[in-house]
């Protein structure tokens, strides 16, 4: 059964994605750290967003019996886990206040959650419109 997500769920998914990404990026822009450190944290966020959407797509494809290679499925999971580990290692070793570390961690997690739900909603809407 194809059901369209509610407008409230669609809107809240976009709000959480935008809030997480913008909060993380604003914090990164305002941070007093070297440019290469900022680049590291930006790259980790982008890597995480891409891999989270990829994992969500693979899981959904498998549920709908759409063929997904085990290599791509495994690489998607590895990429998501690696991006989370890279952020954790970076924050543990960073010369930041604990509150700043928490800010980046929560912005990161909100961004991943938002990316997954926006992608899910986009696919659900597409399926609903084509049924």
Q: Which residues contact 56 (CB under 8 A, 6 or more apart)?
A: 116, 119, 120
14 within a domain of the structure (yes/no): no
- Number of neighbouring beta carbons within 10 Å of residue 5: 17
66 within a domain of the structure (yes/no): yes
10 within a domain of the structure (yes/no): no
54 within a domain of the structure (yes/no): yes
The parent domain of residue 112 ranges over 34-120
Q: Residue 131's pLDDT is what?
A: 81
Q: Which residues contact 23 (CB under 8 A, 6 or more apart)?
A: 103, 107, 110
pLDDT digits (tens, 9 = 90+) for 40-82: 999 999 999 999 999 999 999 999 999 999 999 999 999 999 9
29 within a domain of the structure (yes/no): no
129 within a domain of the structure (yes/no): no
Query: What's the token pair of residue 126?
Result: 């597409």
Number of domains in the chain: 1
130 within a domain of the structure (yes/no): no
pLDDT digits (tens, 9 = 90+) for 81-115: 999 999 999 999 999 999 999 999 999 999 999 99
27 within a domain of the structure (yes/no): no
């Amino acid at each position: 059964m194809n059901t369209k997500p509610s407008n409230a769920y669609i809107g809240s998914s976009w709000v959480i994605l935008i809030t997480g990404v913008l909060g993380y990026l604003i914090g990164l822009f305002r941070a007093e750290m070297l440019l290469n450190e900022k680049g590291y944290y930006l790259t980790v966020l982008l890597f995480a967003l891409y891999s989270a959407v990829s994992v969500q797509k693979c899981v959904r494809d498998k549920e709908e019996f759409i063929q997904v290679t085990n290599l791509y499925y495994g690489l998607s999971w590895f990429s998501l886990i690696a991006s989370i580990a890279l952020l954790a290692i970076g924050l543990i070793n960073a010369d930041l206040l604990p509150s700043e570390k928490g800010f980046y961690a929560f912005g990161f997690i909100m961004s991943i959650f938002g990316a997954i739900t926006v992608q899910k909603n986009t696919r659900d809407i597409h399926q609903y419109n084509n049924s």
